[in-house]
Structure formats: structure tokens, C-alpha cells
Amino acid sequence: MNNYLVLIPARAGSQRLHGKNMRQFGGKPLVGHSIAYAQDNGFSNVVVTSNDKCVLEYAKKVGVEVVKRPDALAGDEAPVVTALQHAVSQLQKQHDAVILLQPTNPLRPKGLLKEAIAIFEQEDCDSLMTVSRNEHKVGTISNNRFIPYNYQMGQRSQDLEPLYYENGLLYIFKTELLKEGKLLGENNYPLIVEHPFADIDIDTEADFKKAELYLKFYN
């Protein structure tokens, strides 16, 4: 079994939902759900990287290691991979692989992480990401005309070609990839998740309200 590090990036300064990582959701801050998920799955190597003082204090309080993220790596334009690289560089212990849990996905099926790790090790892949089926008829708009992308006009929804999207529930990747500035490698396994929680990714107030409903009815 690999030596895993769980990384939870939770920067300050969200523009669309201010202070979202410390906003109370189901009895704990939003970031607390990803921390609890890792701990409930038996992980002790859990690190929160943030430039938010409140997030760092909370993470310490619940018993996880923290890395103070430089503000230069916490802006809207800064890719998350740079924050993860910085966090790993600050740790003394080396790890074979990283599990990335984003606070914006607070709801995850209970057995998902164990399933993902089993597949990651069995397939000996460079990385793994969770995906879900796209059930929508999508297209582009050009010169005020809608041009279907994944179907033909009049085609039944159930006959659509299967397309999938990253749902963000979790990612696993070898540490070597992170050193190259990558989260996903060429040998990347797409783990299909068919669960309502895959619909939740909190960036706006509407997303937050939707998540509260899902927490109530599906948890």
C-alpha cells in the first residue's frame, strides 16, 4: 500500500461566496467536512494549506497539520497545483501519493475513498479522478444559432453518447506528478460516481443552499 498524504487546500478570498471555507455547514465549517472525511477513513497524514488564519486555527484545533500558504499562491489566478507543491515542500516526511480533497465538495459517499485507493493501487495508475455522467444535451452558440455538440436535434436523451465530467469529489496522484506541475498523468483512471453528492460543488450562495438540501435528504 502506498504512503498517502491527504491535502486540503482552503484559501481565503473567495469572490463569489465570501468566507465560504469557514461557513457553518451541517454543524461544522465547510472545510471541516473534508478533514473529517479523511480522519473517518483512518488517515493521520492530513494537511490543510491556507492563507486564512481562521482556517489554520480550526485545522490545528481538530488535530491536523497546517501549512501557511503565501498570499502570492492564493490569488484567483493562482493554480491549485502551486499551492500543493508549496505544501509538500514544507513537509519533512516524504509520501508516495497525494489524495486531494477540496472543501467545495463537502459531501462524499462514505465508501468512495476506499474504493478509489483500491483501484489506484490495483491499476497501478499515475492518477485517479472521479467523474460523473453528463445527461444534458449540450451545444455551442455561433451567430445566434445553437449548434448541438453531443446529439442531433430530435434525438432521445437516453440515446446520447456517454460523456463524463470531473465532479471534483476527490483526486489521487503520485507525488512525482506534482513535482512536474501536474495533478493528472497520462495513465489516469476515471472513477465513475453515480451518486447525488457528485452534483455538489460549492462556489455560490445557490450552490450552498443546494448542498444543504442534499445533506438533509441524502446523508
pLDDT tens digits along 105-160: 999 999 999 999 999 999 999 999 999 999 888 999 999 999 998 888 888 877 78
Spatial distance between the Cα atoms of 107 and 124, rounded to a whole number of angstroms:
27
pLDDT tens digits along 13-71: 777 788 899 999 999 999 999 999 999 999 989 999 999 999 999 999 999 999 998 87
Spatial distance between the Cα atoms of 141 and 65, rounded to a whole number of angstroms:
47
Containing 117, the helix (H) or strand (E) segment is helix 112-123
pLDDT tens digits along 65-105: 999 988 777 766 678 899 999 999 999 888 999 999 999 99
- For the chain, list the domains and their CATH numbers: 4-134+166-218 (3.90.550.10)
Average pLDDT of the segment spanning 176-183:
93
Spatial distance between the Cα atoms of 126 and 186, rounded to a whole number of angstroms:
7
Spatial distance between the Cα atoms of 107 and 130, rounded to a whole number of angstroms:
13
pTM over 0.85: yes
